[in-house]
Amino acid sequence: MNVIRTVIAFLLLAATAAAQDKLPPRVVRVVGTADVSVVPDRAVIAIGVEKQNASASLAKLAADGAARRLLAALRGDGIEEKDIQTTFLSLQPQFNYRKGMRISYFVAEQTMSITVRDLPKLDAVLESLIKAGGNRIDSIYYETSDLRKYRDQTRDQAVKAAREKAQALAHALGQEIGRAYSIEEVPEPSNQYFGGLMSNSSDEVANKSRATGPSTAAGQKKISASVVVSFDLN
């Protein structure tokens, strides 16, 4: 009988220990956020050409010729080769569905990505490109060359904000926080600005640009960081 009681007691102790092992850890989990605003020092624009012709080869030739003029204009503006990249090339037939899927004409497109490191020259570069035959501006966004430095700075601030928040929550309960139990960085969405322009008259756009002054503004770029941290709750 004593043996049976001993076995039962042992099983109860084992079950209690197992249940305790399954208890969730005593932690406080918080999100820390921070951001800094910096003035961009360079811009990246995507500009291209679009040409149409009933002949595929003539459409492509026209687009190639316009692209060469864009490259010449960029070199004339002092843009270095490393800051110019062809990013899109397309030659597509356009169909007339009313005439039984017959090809009406072909559209040839080329797009370039250009990094302008001297921001005061941005408007002049855009005007020069449009004069050279660029009739498509697909996007423009601003960057900072010290992005890594600012990301590290913002991440440190986010971690400090998480600790301060956890301490405040624990103090409200009359407790304290201990060592960090886990930490995870939350990916930040892109804040790039994209705009667009289609033009059939480069002279008209250039004249309007001169008449109204600068047409672009860099403003400030916000660099953010968020972390999720769990601290031991004592």
Banded model confidence at residue 211, pLDDT cuts 50, 70, 90: low
Q: Cβ neighbours of residue 49 under 8 Å, at least 6 residues apart? A: 63, 66, 67, 70, 109, 110, 133, 134, 135, 136
Residue 16 has pLDDT above 70, yes or no: no
Residue 9 has pLDDT above 80, yes or no: no
Span 29-62, pLDDT tens digits: 999 999 999 999 999 999 999 999 999 999 999 9
56 within domain boundaries: yes
Angle between helices 122-131 and 202-212 (to 10 degrees): 160
State which residues form the domain around 116: 40-144+194-217
For residue 82, the 8-state DSSP code is G
55 within domain boundaries: yes
44 within domain boundaries: yes
Better pLDDT: 204 or 28? 28
Banded model confidence at residue 201, pLDDT cuts 50, 70, 90: very low
Span 157-190, pLDDT tens digits: 999 999 999 999 999 999 999 999 899 998 876 5
201 within domain boundaries: yes
Task: Check which CATH number belongs to the domain holding 211 and give it.
Answer: 3.30.70.2970
231 within domain boundaries: no
